[in-house]
Amino acid sequence: MDCLDFTELHLETELLWNEISVGDSVMLDADLYESNTFKLHKYQPYEVVAKLHNIAPEASMLVVESDVTGELINLHPALLCSYQSADNPAFPSQ
């Protein structure tokens, strides 16, 4: 992967991160494991409970609660297969 590919991927994930709000639902296209421990199910909607904004080269992350372990999981936007806006946004625009 050359520098341009990384920059393009980072830009795309930052744009996606900006589109998703706290309270929205996100889904993964594969099960998530961390340290050989199952954390999240694929195609299961998870509510975004927080957003972590990082400066490049670190990716900004979404935070969801695991239905398996109950812990908060930092989720990279590139792992998402879809997202849906909340019917009632957590922070309505003014």
Q: Is 76 in a helix, a strand, or coil?
A: coil
**Could you give the number of structural domains in the chain?**
1
Q: Within a domain: residue 94?
A: no
pLDDT digits (tens, 9 = 90+) for 27-81: 999 999 999 999 999 999 999 999 998 877 778 999 999 999 999 999 999 999 9
Residue 23 pLDDT more than 70? yes
User: Which DSSP helix (H) or strand (E) runs through 15?
Assistant: helix 3-19
Rounded to the nearest 10°, the torsion over CA 16, 65, 53, 4 is -50
Whether 62 is in a domain gets the answer: yes
Residue 89 lies in a domain: no
* pTM for the whole structure: 0.83
User: Which CATH number is 30's domain given?
Assistant: 2.30.30
In a domain, 36, yes or no: yes
Range of the domain at 12: 3-84
